[in-house]
Structure 1
């Protein structure tokens, strides 16, 4: 008798889990800001490149590289917020 009662109780527990359903929720996708994905302008390299101009070119290249790294860091931060 006791085994039959335990079996009925377990059977009810198993059938209670069978009624679950999957519901898909639409998530609003927020686009990245255009300033983060815009193409960076490439500094113009003069054909005869004197030493003085190479210093200015290095400064402009390093500032462009720094801006690209900041943009990538901002994109990573946005993607981390989306994951949470």
Structure 2
């Protein structure tokens, strides 16, 4: 008998929020902060989008490899 399928909790599938930018920040510091933050958020959202797509395929009963 196969193990039951447990869905990924919804809070793990939500997009990552944007960071709060402090009021006092140098221009150089802001560029570094925003560059790093936006890269991290983009990576996070990309991973979560992939999880959501996989969950939709799994919920439909379709074969994951067949959907590639």
Smaller-chain TM-score bracket = 0.5 to 0.7
Structure 1 position 74 matched with structure 2 position 61: no
Q: 1:46 to 1:54 in 2, by over 3 A?
A: farther
TM-score, with length taken from structure 2 = 0.60
TM-score, with length taken from structure 1 = 0.50
Structure 1 position 35, deviation (Å): 1.0
**Paired residue for 1:59?**
36
- Structure with higher Rg: it is 1
Q: Of 40, 43, 64, which aligns to 2:16?
A: 40
For residues 78 and 45 of structure 1, what CA distance do their matches in structure 2 show?
A: 33
Q: How many residues align?
A: 54
Listed as ranges, the gaps of 5+ residues in structure 2 are: 1-5, 63-68
Structure 1 position 32, deviation (Å): 5.0
Listed as ranges, the gaps of 5+ residues in structure 1 are: 1-29
- Structure 1 vs Structure 2 CA RMSD: 2.2
